[in-house]
Structure 1
Amino acid sequence: MSRTVYLFGSAAPPVLAIDRAVEQLQRRGWDVCLGLTPAAADWLGERIGELAALTGHPVRSAYKRPGAADVWPRADVILFAPATFNSLNAWALGLTDRFVVGVVAEAVGKGIPTVAMPCVNAAYAQHTQLDESVARLRAMRVEVLYGGEGFVPNQPGEPRAYPWDLAFDAIEQATDRT
């Protein structure tokens, strides 16, 4: 039986290696559907076709038109990683002008297990809205991998390895609970 994960990414440095994340998920037995914020899609530009070939599904960064067929299978779980400061705040506030934010906002109401792992630097982490948004998402039963056993902000301009394995383990555990 195939398991489907929607992997959503925002425009943060780890999205530049999203192909490796897709491959790791596939090795774990996941059918991966890739969605990107418009800025992340712009960053990946000419690689979108390669990513579609890798996943076997169209890469999406925009809503489908009303009445159009859905081109992806139903999600068993959603992983939003990397999730930027902007995307996390928009999601927590219900601002769904971007496709990936709209899908994760709706997933809460549909009961689809959802995991988010931020990628924010320490300067953004000082803004009080981030903690409020993380708390609001957690209150909606979204597993946010931030601080402690999750993503720890780096200093601006000083990137560190993104802990993808934490996110992959979290989606495995989330689907085991359903």
Structure 2
Amino acid sequence: MTEPDGKPFLYVVVCAAGIAADVGHLITAARERGWEVGAFATPVAVAGGFLDAAAVQELTGRPVRSAWRAPGDPRPFPPPDAVVVAPATFNTVNKWAAGLADTLAVATLCEAYGLGVPVAVLPCVSEALAAHPAYRDSLTRLRGMGVRFGDPYSGEAQADGGRPEFGWERALDLLG
């Protein structure tokens, strides 16, 4: 739902992967493209130190959501106009495809389908995990639900010892 100032609202769901520390690149790019942003994080992303919640809050002007709100508490974010999942881990992709909404982040993704909002995903999954049949089946199911996927990112070192760029802005491009 568009904000009172006319800006569309983007949910960014962050999972527990090393690259999550750089999610500020995505948030900054989204704001430059005219989005207001609210961030959700998996509990492990928060508790494991994969992202700096205070820094994300500084960028968005809103708290990072990772826990359920109490009954009767107001929703801190408006409904989304779109959702980005970046980085999306093996665990989150599989739980989401199976409809296992055991965390706020995954429940938010499950709900996005029912809301009919576009969802873009930047997977961050090792080649070994990506080869698992459950993961491949999950990708097929989510694509069938209209989810748009960017190129997979394994985070594995290249021959020169460096790591490839994650391509945060690609998620925004996928939303069209």
State the TM bucket, normalised to the shorter chain. Answer: 0.7 to 0.9
Distance 1:7 1:46, change over 3 A: closer
Sequence identity of aligned pairs in percent?
33
Q: Deviations over 1:114-133 (max 9, x none)?
A: 11121001111111111100
Query: How far did residue 67 of structure 1 move?
Result: 1.6
TM-score (norm 1): 0.86
Judge which range, 152-161 or 26-35, deviates more. 152-161
Superposed CA deviations along residues 76-112 of structure 1, whole A, max 9, x for unmatched, are 0000111000000000011111111101101111111
What secondary structure, in the 3-state scheme, does the structure 2 residue paired with 1:79 have? strand
Q: Is the 8 A contact 1:16 1:43 kept in 2?
A: no
Query: Which of the numbers 7, 17, 29 marks the counterpart of 1:2?
Result: 7
Matched with 2:39 is 34
Counterpart in the other structure of 2:87 = 82
Which residue is 1:167 aligned to?
Answer: 171
Supply the distance in 1 between the matched residues of 2:155 and 2:129 (Cα, whole angstroms): 10
Displacement after TM superposition at 1:42 (Å): 2.1
Which structure is higher in helix share?
1
Report the count of equivalent residues: 168
Q: Which runs of 5+ in 2 are unaligned?
A: 1-5
Letter in 1 for 2:54: G
CA-based RMSD of the aligned residues comes to: 2.0
Residue type of the alignment partner of 1:68: D
Task: Give the AA of the match of 2:167.
Answer: P
Q: Which residue of 2 aligns with 1:91?
A: 96
Where does structure 1 lack aligned partners over 5 or more consecutive residues? 174-178
Q: Take 1:115 and 1:67, find their aligned partners in 2: how far apart are those partners?
A: 30
Residue by residue over 1:19-62, the C-alpha shift from the partner in whole angstroms, topping out at 9 and shown as x without a partner, is 22211211111101011001111244793223212201111011
Q: How does the TM-score come out when normalised to structure 2?
A: 0.87
